[in-house]
Structure 1
Amino acid sequence: MTTPTSSARVVVIGGGVLGVSTATHLARAGASVTLLTESAISSGASGRSLSWLNSAGERSPEYHALRMAGIDRYRTLGQKLGDNRFLRFEGGLTWAAPGESYASRYQHERSIGYDSVWLQPDEIERWTPGVDPSSVNSEGAIFNPGEGWVDLPSLIEHLLSGFRAAGGTVHDNVGRVSVDVTNGRASGARTAGGDVHEADAVVLAAGPWVPGALDELGVRVEDQTPISLLLTTHPVKTDLKAVLNTPRVAVRPTPDGTLVLDSGWSEEEVVDLGNGSYQVNDDTLAGLLAEASAVLAGHPTLELDRYGVGPKPIPGDGEPVAGPVDEIPGLHVLFTHSGATLGLILGELVAQEILTGIASPLLQRFRLSRFSVPTS
């Protein structure tokens, strides 16, 4: 058995769940780890994520297996934490738009052993409360009892506590961070202020900024990153416990009694002003609140507390990018849409690869090399 190299010096770039998870696994294994982030911890995509823990629908077998491993790690964490406020497994409920059907999706989930129950509208209350059955497609809905949700900022805070206890160092709000390359190999990272952090390995986990950072190094990754919009309501009285994914809105409870909301149509209405800022129209916000109220039992009045808007990382083929960058030895990358579900497992597997030099079979399909092309 190969044991981790405890003397390794590693710099991790990115203060979201993927960067913090990887840094924590490395530090706990004995590595000397420095975590660098451009702004505040959790201020990027991890701070505006629906954070639905799932492997619902159809995807490649390898991606499904990785997501299921990710959910397994959350269940293990939940057992260790005991009663906690930021991680729940209360299931997920979804239904198709009028005129469409999720029957084939249900059959697929059943065929691969994914826990999936078909419910008629009048059966929903018995399985998962807080939903207005009249809002559900007449054909019924899919309830996935094994799904859950996590509040990523709270999870990240928990992980950072362990990271610091293991000797890790955090430098936040350091501005833009770039990878240093010496003689063709990643040798550390440099902050906007010119501070250099030397390392034996560098992990690039900067969410939607990964493609640009790689491009500067002469490596291209296909990218379909859109703009995300996540609304948070004021606290509201509701019996909802599951994550809802409906044709017009997704809804998730939070630890403090609020709800978070997102949707595809509302994201499309965000105006990118081209200077790192965005315009969100009042009608979009009001519309999303109304859509959420319409699917909740009793149609509670939902009031906006705040919203987050910004790029949501999605690789060009929709599947994760994880592991070494072949063109630059010593550089490892994490770039994925499913950061919440995969946060713990990807951090664990990439840390193991860095410290042991042994490639993980679970990550074989998700290498950058599947579509990276040198830019020069």
Structure 2
Amino acid sequence: MNISVIGGGVIGVSCALYLARAGVKVRLFTGKELGSGASGRSLSWLNASGPWPADYYNLRMAGIDRFRSLYCKNTHVDWLKFNGGVFLSDQDEVRKWYSIEKERGYDSHLFQPEDVNSIDAKINPAAIGPYGIYNAGEGWVSLPELIECLVSEFLTLNGTVIENAGKTVPIFDAEGATKGVVSQKQGEYLCDKVLLACGASTSKLVAELGVDLPDGSVLSMVAITEPFDNRPSVVLNTPKVAMRPNPGNSLVIDHSWYVNEIKEDENGVCSVPEHIVEQLLSEADRLLKSDVPITLAGYKAGWKPVPADGFPVLGELQEMPGCYVAFTHSGATLSLIVGELVSWEMTTGKSHPMLASFRPGRFKS
């Protein structure tokens, strides 16, 4: 079997690797460099916390499981850690999340301000409300390094990576079945099946092929700090700021409250008002016990892939036999399990029950 994957983010790379592990000949096409889209600017918090529907919760838990397996083989790396996560919000929401998590058997612990430094000594107790939640089994991953790790194995399995290919799209035979891809820089390449894993561009691409895949993608921004000695080891998710450790002793910081203030120019370059970045860093400073303020190394902004209903879109497009799609928010948590299950479907021709709720056809009226 010969398969083309379009998309060089973590979802596309993971799918390509799992296909190669199955003995398939795989070519991975990416319009620019690997990881140059949303995967290069992700908080990438590995979690299944909160009031998710059961099928999505189960998929996220499977995703975390695959990362724990990867971590067991790579405990020495600085880009994948399982030091837990802290969730802060108003008292009612904290109690709601805690109740749901305990009912599911999630490793969830309610704590008060005076307890927080037993979880992480770098957190400021004065910034904690009446209660917070500590999820001991959560972690984080830096996706650029993960992509490098996955691509390294992919190449040893004789996979082919074609970077800077320009726009790449599937092509079809007279009966409407997938027969290959064509790219701006590489021309036509024939294959048996194609996977579209193009992040926030996925809906636009399939629309050009005549398929409606509703899109809820939003502009987003993450800030990266200078090296910071007093950084926490846990992931923090709060009403005004989310943060995690990052390789190089820095922090990655983001949130969603400022998305409407991010601007994109005619060349696709995004900018964020200076006061937004300053406020985000100020919120981060407030959470930490440190007399030294966090300083900015830079920020990255662009489109965050989000299907219209917020849930993954995974599987074969009914309108185009042999053409599959993998379009999802939470690309970090889901990247390895999506790669495993979508590649299994592509190579076996079977449908995996864990993906039943996430088919592209659910948007049809």
- TM-score per shorter chain, which class? over 0.9
Deviation string, structure 1 residues 249-290 (Cα, Å, up to 9, x no partner): 001101210101101123232123354122211111111111
1:315 matched to 2:307? The reply is yes
Paired residue secondary structure (2:50) = coil
Q: Which amino acid aligns with 1:304?
A: L
Q: Give the letter aligned to residue 25 of structure 1.
A: Y
Name the structure 2 match of 1:189. 181
List per-residue Cα deviations over 1:101-126 (Å, max 9, x = no partner).
41111111101111100000110110
What residue is the counterpart of 2:150 in the other structure?
Answer: 159
**Which SS does the other structure have where 1:81 is aligned?**
coil
Contact map agreement 1:200 1:330 (CA 8 A) in 2: yes
Structure-to-structure mapping, 1:73-222, within 5 angstroms = 73-97=66-90, 101-137=93-129, 139-183=130-174, 184-193=176-185, 195-222=187-214
- The answer to whether residue 251 in structure 2 is matched with residue 264 in structure 1 is no
The one-letter amino acid of 1:136's match is I
> What residue ranges of structure 2 are gaps of 5+ in the alignment?
none
Q: Report if aligned partners of 1:129, 1:239 keep a CA contact under 8 Å in 2.
A: no
1:3 corresponds to: none
Q: Which residue of 1 aligns with 2:230?
A: 238
Say what the alpha-carbon RMSD is for the aligned residues: 1.3
> 1:82 Cα shift?
3.1
Could you tell me which amino acid in structure 1 is paired with residue 120 of structure 2? T
TM, length-normalised to structure 2: 0.97
Q: Could you tell me how far apart the structure 2 residues matched to 1:141 and 1:315 are?
A: 30
Residue pair 2:231, 2:251 contacting (<8 A) in 1 also: no
Aligned: 1:44 with 2:43: no
Aligned residues of 1:187 and 1:199 also touching (Cα < 8 A): yes
Greater shift in the superposed pair: 209-218 or 235-244: 235-244
TM-score normalised by structure 1 residue count: 0.94
Aligned partner letter, 1:106: Y
Counterpart of 1:181, as a letter, is: F
1:75 maps to a residue whose letter is R
- Which is further off, 273-282 or 174-183? 273-282
Deviations 1:19-75 (A, max 9, x none): 000000111111000000000111100111000000010011000000000000001
For residues 355 and 135 of structure 1, do their structure 2 counterparts lie closer, same or farther at Cα, with a shift above 3 Å needed?
Answer: same
Question: Pick from 352, 355, 359: which aligns with 2:344?
Answer: 352
Q: Is the CA contact (8 Å cut-off) linking 2:228 and 2:250 kept in structure 1?
A: yes
Matches of 2:326 and 2:364 in 1, distance apart?
14
Partner residue, 2:58: 65
Which residue number corresponds to residue 273 of structure 2?
A: 281
Among the aligned pairs, what percent are the same residue? 42
Which whole-Å CA distance do the structure 2 matches of 1:177 and 1:158 have between them? 24
3-state SS in 1 of match to 2:257: helix
Give the Cα separation in 2 of the matches to 1:367 and 1:262.
30
Match of residue 333, structure 1, among 325, 334, 351: 325
Q: Which deviations, in whole Å up to 9, do the C-alpha atoms of 1:326-357 show, x marking residues without a partner? A: 11000010000010000000000011111111
The letter of the residue matching 2:246 is T
Contact 1:227 1:312 in 2 (8 A): yes
Matched, 1:18 2:11: yes
Aligned-pair CA distance for 1:208: 0.2
In the TM superposition, what is the alpha-carbon distance from 1:84 to its structure 2 partner?
1.5
In structure 1, the residue matched to 2:220 is 228
SS at match of 2:158: coil
User: 1:294 deviation in Å?
Assistant: 1.0
Q: SS in structure 2 opposite 1:353?
A: helix
Task: Tell me if structure 1 keeps the 8 A contact 2:32–2:166.
Answer: yes
- More deviation, 117-126/77-86: 77-86
CA contact (8 A) 1:266 1:288 kept: no
Ranges in structure 1 where 5+ consecutive residues have no aligned partner: 1-7
Equivalent position of 2:27 in the other structure: 34
Q: Which residue of 2 aligns with 1:4?
A: none
- C-alpha distance in 2 between matches for 1:46 and 1:349: 20
CA distance in 1, matches of 2:139, 2:13: 21
Which segment is superposed worse, 273-282 or 47-56? 273-282
* Inter-partner Cα distance in structure 1 for 2:288 and 2:115: 15
2:161 aligned counterpart, secondary structure: strand
CA distance in 1 between partners of 2:168 and 2:21 (Å) = 24
SS at match of 2:89: coil
